[in-house]
Amino acid sequence: MKKIFPKSLKKGDKIAIISPAGAVDETQLQKGIEMIKNKGYEPILGEHLYTKFSNGYNYAGTEQERIKDINWALNDNEISAIWASRGGYGCQHLVESLNLKNFIKNPKWYIGYSDNTVIQSYLLKKRFASIHGQTVKTSSFGVTEESYDLIFDILKGKKLKYNLESHRFNKNGNIEGELIGGNLALIYALLGTKYSFDFKDKVLFIEDIGENFYALDRMIMSLELAGVFKKISGLIVGGMTNMGDEKENKQYEESFDEFAYKLISDRISKYKFPVVFGFPNGHIKDNRPLIIGGNVKVKVEDKVKIEF
């Protein structure tokens, strides 16, 4: 089915900032909110943006409070885009209560990554594209200015083009198709549910942070056993940050963990689809956006070209 892309924003448009998962402090969002203002847009803060609710994890409010905020942002006709404050955990609580009644008539970009993969998979099930990019909260390792600028470029209607160096685990080839995916842990968590991505003939993107190598292998094996790698037409692998046992494997604390890459490469070695390793998106400083649901052209040769 044809995908729906929200209309471009113009100066003065309102961008809702909500916390659908983990809790945040005002100080963590100051820089991002000022940036939105400086770009000419009006940030509108969700009612429970800074609410905190502890229930085995520090959530940004109860499930009901977070549901109220996201449904407000999705359906308020004065809002032109929705930007998640952060990820963390909690978006799975929301999907069964999401309301798209007005959103369908007035689609808007949803921006986020990490746990927000759940929301983006839900939206794509309803045919709506979204932006897999940096949240309003700047991470502890910082965020490049270009990572944010490229998000604003998408909001203004500009096309994305990336040129990358080759990686030793890449598999050459040319593909064109719809991009799906996001955080591997959430792709894995949605398998077998009605909210899981449709993998057939898609280009899959994955990234992750802080997983032991055996846990990474378990998730990749689950995708294998679910037939995902038999269905996709290509794979893009982004950041794999702080993987393995951090106390014993300090040498692996890199944004593009080579052992994690080798593990993934070995598991998919029997498949012939093109593969890109080292794409700058994920829990990393240089977190450049991708369009979930966008038509992507991938050319993997001595150099790598990716464009939407």
Q: Which two tokens stand for residue 161?
A: 């083009």
Any idea what DSSP says for residue 175?
E
Closest CA to 68 of 89, 42, 47, 45: 47
Distance CA 21, CA 63 (A): 9
In the prediction, which pLDDT does 140 show?
72
Each residue of 212-228: pLDDT tens digit? 999 999 999 999 999 99
Domains of the chain: 14-155 (3.40.50.10740), 161-307 (3.50.30.60)
Residues of the chain whose pLDDT is less than 70? Answer: 246-254
Distance CA 166, CA 172 (A): 10
In the prediction, which pLDDT does 254 show?
64
In the prediction, which pLDDT does 246 show?
53
Each residue of 224-252: pLDDT tens digit? 999 999 999 999 999 999 998 754 454 44
In the prediction, which pLDDT does 252 show?
45
In the prediction, which pLDDT does 1 show?
78
Provide the Cα torsion 115, 238, 129, 176; round to 10°: -150
In the prediction, which pLDDT does 245 show?
72
